[in-house]
Amino acid sequence: TSWGTMAITMPIAVPLALSLGVPLPLGISAVLTGSVMGDHCSPISDTTIMSSMFSGSDHIDHVKTQIPYAFTASGVAVLAYLAAGSGMSVALVLPLGIVLVGILLYLFSAISAKTSGISLPLAESKIKEVKEV
C-alpha cells in the first residue's frame, strides 16, 4: 500500500533530506511519488487488485496496461527531480514536466493506434512527423 510505504519511509527520508541539504518539499515529494508509483504498478497492491476486479479484466493484463503509463510519468518525474535538484526553479520544472508527460503520452497513444490498426487522422500525421525527424 502506498500509505504504508509513506509511513515507513517518511521518518527516514525527512532527516536524510535535511542532513544532505535537499529542500524538504523536494524530499517529501520524492517519497510520495515513489510510493504512489510502486502502489500503482505492483500486482499485489490492494488498489490494483480492486481495479482489475471491479472492471472485470484479467489482473495481470490490467497491470501490464498500467505499467507504460506509470513508467512514462515516473521517468519524467525523475528528470524533473534531477532538474530541480540541480537548482532549476520548481515553478519552471513543474509545467515543463506536465507538458512533457502530455506530449509523450500522446505520441505513445498515436503509435499504439497505428500498430493496432486504428485510424486516427491526427495520430497518423504525428507519426509521419516523428518518422521524418
pLDDT for res 31: 93
Q: Is 89 helix (H, G, I), strand (E, B) or coil?
A: coil
Residue (of 36, 38, 41, 33) closest to 94 by Cα position? 33
* pTM (global) more than 0.85: no
pLDDT for res 126: 61
Mean pLDDT split into 10-residue runs, the chain, 133 residues: 88 94 89 89 85 87 86 92 89 94 87 74 62 65
Domain boundaries, given as residue ranges, for the chain: 2-132
pLDDT for res 32: 92
The torsion of the CA quartet 27, 86, 41, 95, rounded to 10 degrees, works out to 100
C-alpha cell at 58: 484479467
| Contact call for residues 62 and 56 (beta carbons, < 8 A) | no
User: Which residues lie below 8 Å from residue 122, measured CB to CB, with a gap of 6+?
Assistant: 110
pLDDT for res 46: 83
